[in-house]
């Protein structure tokens, strides 16, 4: 088991402090609950069951909204399932997209089995090999404020692997209705007339 000390919910709360107009997407499970513990904004879109899809969802939103900053929070298990997305994102090179991987080296949703990052798979290295201009691994509290600034100013894409301790945080559930989430974000970005039933 890892000896990391960063706490995922504290990290998410600090990264979203004074978030302004950031568009925030999450993968399924714990990353969605982490977001819901600090925010229920019309600029939030938690995915509920599309494991492996969060990074590509973020790419689509970043390309569709090039003037907006897009941040995706996901876990190591989901990022490992969607490794191919890193190559696609690197080729597309959206300047406004950041991926934050909350890496506890476990599949938290299925019983805390070790992921491949526990065996040495280096997500930062994979992103760099794919062509990400900015990729980093954070393990210390003092690094979080710098990442928060990067989410607002970097020319991306950016991937940040944040090594966090395993923590059985209580579920803080975001809205579960996909149509509601879609319409809420569409209205926030495009106006009330953009809502599609």
pLDDT tens string 76-107 = 999 999 999 999 999 999 999 999 999 998 87
pTM over 0.85: yes
The whole-chain average pLDDT of the chain stands at 89
Place of tokens 């980093």: 136
Secondary structure letter of residue 164 according to DSSP: B
d(CA 54, CA 66): 18
**Six token digits for residue 29:** 């499970």
Q: What is the pLDDT of residue 182?
A: 85
For the four alpha carbons of 67, 54, 132 and 141, in that order, the dihedral sign comes to: positive
Q: Where are the alpha helices (DSSP H) in the chain?
A: 8-15, 30-36, 54-64, 76-81, 83-92, 123-130, 144-153, 178-190
d(CA 50, CA 58): 13
How would you classify the pairing of strands 134-138 and 158-163? parallel
Q: Residue 135: left (phi > 0), alpha (psi -120 to 50), or beta?
A: beta
pLDDT tens string 145-181 = 999 999 999 998 999 999 999 887 777 777 777 888 8
Band of residue 33 on the pLDDT scale cut at 50, 70, 90: confident
Radius of gyration of the chain (CA): 16
CA-wise closest residue to 161 among 111, 122, 107: 122
Task: Give the pLDDT mean for 67-71.
Answer: 97
Band of residue 196 on the pLDDT scale cut at 50, 70, 90: low
Band of residue 1 on the pLDDT scale cut at 50, 70, 90: very low
């Amino acid at each position: 088991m890892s000896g990391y000390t960063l706490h995922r919910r504290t990290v998410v709360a600090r990264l979203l402090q004074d978030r302004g107009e950031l568009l925030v997407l999450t993968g399924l499970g714990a990353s969605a609950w982490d977001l819901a513990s600090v925010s229920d904004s019309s600029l939030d879109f938690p995915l509920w069951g599309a494991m492996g899809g969060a990074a590509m969802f973020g790419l689509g939103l970043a390309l569709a909204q090039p003037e907006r900053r897009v941040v995706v929070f996901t876990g190591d298990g989901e990022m490992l399932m969607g490794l191919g997305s890193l190559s696609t994102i690197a080729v597309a090179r959206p300047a406004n997209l950041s991926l934050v991987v909350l890496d506890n080296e476990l599949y938290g949703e299925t019983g805390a089995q070790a992921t491949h990052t526990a065996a040495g798979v280096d997500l930062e290295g994979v992103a760099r090999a794919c062509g990400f201009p900015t990729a980093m691994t954070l393990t210390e509290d003092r690094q979080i404020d710098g990442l928060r600034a990067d989410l607002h100013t970097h020319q991306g894409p950016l991937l940040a692997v944040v090594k966090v301790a395993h923590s059985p945080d209580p579920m803080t559930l975001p809205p579960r209705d996909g149509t509601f989430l879609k319409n809420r974000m569409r209205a926030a970005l495009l106006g009330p007339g953009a809502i599609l039933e």
